[in-house]
Each structure stands twice: as C-alpha cells, then as structure tokens.
Amino acid sequence: AVETSLPPTANSEAAKPIVLGFSQLGSESTWREANTASIREAAGEAGITLILKNAGQDQQKQFDAIRSFIRSKVDVIAIAPVVQSGWETILLEIKQAGIPVILLDRSANVEDSSLYVTFIGSDFYEEGVKAAKYVIDKMRHHSGVINIAELQGTVGSTPSIDRGRGFRKMIGDKQNFRITVTAPADFTQSGGREVMKRFLQQPREKWSHVLYSHNDDMAIGAAEAIIEAGLIPGTDIIIVSVDGTRRAFEQMAAGRINAVVECNPLLGPLLMQAVKEIMAGRTLPKRMVTPEGIYTQELAGMEMENRKY
Ligand code: AHR
C-alpha cells in the first residue's frame, strides 16, 4: 500500500516541499495503526510530502520500498525496521545516494552508526524492566515459586528482544520467579489468542500465575483464550502487557488486565521535527527516547479518557 499526503498549497508556493519516504513495517497492531496515523497527520501539518509504503511484515518489501525512495530522490528516508538484523547493505545504498536516514520505533543492528542520523523511539529494555518490577511487587505476598508465561512479539524485532531481556534481567536474581513457557505470537490479537490456548493445554504450573505479554493486542487475545478456558483473566492469571492502548485500558478497567507499560506510538511530530532539522543542516542526537510510564487497574478508569491511541 502506498499513501501520499500532499502539503497545503500555500506551503508549496513558498518553497519546494520536503519529501519524506517512510517504510512502515506493517499493520499488525493497534499501536501500529496509531503510529501510521500519527505520521500521516504530522506530515500534513508540517507541510512535508510523505510517501508511505507499508511492508506487511516483510523485510524484503522494506528494501524494495527504500530502493523506490532512492530512485525518486526523496530528501529523507525514515524506516521502522521489522527485524533488527540485515540492514547494512540497504543502508549503505542509501548513504551512497546521499540521503539521510532516520530509524523510527525499532532499531537496526549495524556496526557503522554513520549509516543513520538518529534513532527515535522507546526504550524497550526499560519497558521490560518496568513490567518485571510490577510483577515482582504484585506477587510479593505469594509464597513459593511464581510461574510466568510469556508471549513474545515478532521474532528478531527490537521490542521483542529488548522487552524479553529487560524482564529477565530483573527476575534473574530472584530464586522464586521463573519463566515456564514462552513463544512468539507476532504482536497480533489472533496470535496471542492461539498461543495462549496452547499454553493452557499444558499443565497448570506452566501458565499459572502470571502472563507477561510483549504487547496489548496479544494480551487481549490471550484474555479471550483464558475466558474460553473457564478462567478469569486478571484474577486467575495476573496479566501485564506493553503499549497502553485505549483498548487495553478498557480491559484494565474491566479487571481483565492488571497493568500496562506505556509505549508511545505518536512519533509523527518528533519525526517531522527531525526531518526539518536535518534539512536545515542541524545536528541531531543519535538517540531520542520518548518518556513513558506504567499504569495499573487502580488508575485505568480515570486515565482511559486521556488515552490518545
Ligand atoms: O515496535 C513497537 C511494537 O510493535 C509495539 O509494542 C507493538 O504493539 C507493535 O506491533
């Protein structure tokens, strides 16, 4: 899918508009939809011509999109990488074409950091740490071993890798916390539901007491599977997830999710600002992290109306 948003006429008359090519990795989740909408809206407001191509989770399609941006001689290329490996060759091609690159949301593992200008997005490792801190605190009165089931996101993606690492780092030195079952569910609601169903077919000690889901959509799908199994999500199984979508807040207010760690998808304004700074010849920090919190059931009802995604 290709979407082009043209800037207002007044701007195009004043100066040649900046052209931004953006390779979006897919549309797997509520978070991703909000992210795409934020970028489209911010481009329109900033008077930047956006060529957005959606790769449907396929890295090769991201390469194809990027090569088309190079051929079109766009001013800046932004990439949300579906997985974090395999980016050297294409980033080198962009560099040779003299086009600056912004990594957005997810990271790309490259040794040569001159291949991109800046990486804008969340600290996924810290999100994993926050999720684990919540679980440790929530289960502090529980005696004996605490079993944790984990739903991972896309295999090889930065959020899945780092949310897993941050979480494990925190529970690592606690004798009584252990991850008993873990599997990828692709950041989708249907994936979360299917994988949770499989977890629930295993002996109880595999999936009780806690579910750590790498995003809200998978947690919502898992809650459906838990209900189908005759159990009460949020009570029989404590659930913590990541993102903080309004849908997850509704689930929290209904008692089906216990806590969500925030991950802000509204990166459009920051991206457009960075594009303008680059075009004005200014230097940007190599890493820009969005500030984020954690929300629990107690605050969900009050906070729900403020959710923007
Ligand atoms: O990269 C951000 C992650 O990707 C979000 O947590 C998830 O919902 C999305 O699919």
Quick check: 10 pLDDT over 90?
no
Return the percentage of the chain with pLDDT > 70, whole number. Answer: 95
Q: Give the tens place of pLDDT for each residue, 92-140.
A: 999 999 999 999 999 999 999 999 999 999 999 999 999 999 999 999 9
pLDDT at 3: 53
The pLDDT, as a whole number, for residue 60 is: 98
Distance of CA 173 from the midpoint of ligand 1 (Å)? 28
Q: List pLDDT tens digits, range 154-211.
A: 999 999 999 999 999 999 999 999 999 999 999 999 999 999 999 999 999 888 899 9
Burial 293-302 (b: 16+ CB within 10 A, else e): ebbbbeebee
The whole-number pLDDT of residue 15 equals 78
Query: Measuring from each residue's beta carbon to the nearest atom of ligand 1, which residues come in under 6 Å?
Result: 28-29, 31-32, 105-106, 159, 187, 215, 242-243, 263
What is the model's pLDDT at position 12? 45
ipTM over 0.95: yes
Paired tokens of 44: 């329109």
The confidence band for 299, taking pLDDT boundaries of 50, 70 and 90, is confident
Relative to the CA of 158, which ligand 1 atom is closest? 1
Q: Which amino acid is at 271?
A: L
Determine the Cα–Cα distance for residues 200 and 229; give it in Å rounded to an integer. Answer: 8
Name the residue of 122, 215, 217, 241 to mutate for ligand 1: max ligand atoms within 8 A of Cβ.
Answer: 215
For residue 197, what pLDDT is reported?
A: 98
The answer, yes or no, to whether residue 5 has pLDDT greater than 80, is no
Question: DSSP letter at 74?
Answer: -
CA–centroid distance, 23 to ligand 1, in Å, is 15
Helix or strand or coil: residue 50? Answer: strand
**Quick check: 11 pLDDT over 90?**
no
Residue 20 contacts residue 50 (beta carbons within 8 Å): yes
- Given this model, what pLDDT does residue 4 score? 54
Q: What is the pLDDT of residues 20-58, one digit of tens each?
A: 999 999 999 999 999 999 999 999 999 999 999 999 999
Q: Which amino acid is at 74?
A: V
Instruction: Please give the pLDDT value at position 6.
Output: 52
In our burial notation (b when 16+ CB lie closer than 10 A, e otherwise), range 71-101 reads eeebbbbbbbbbbbebbeebbeebeeeebbb
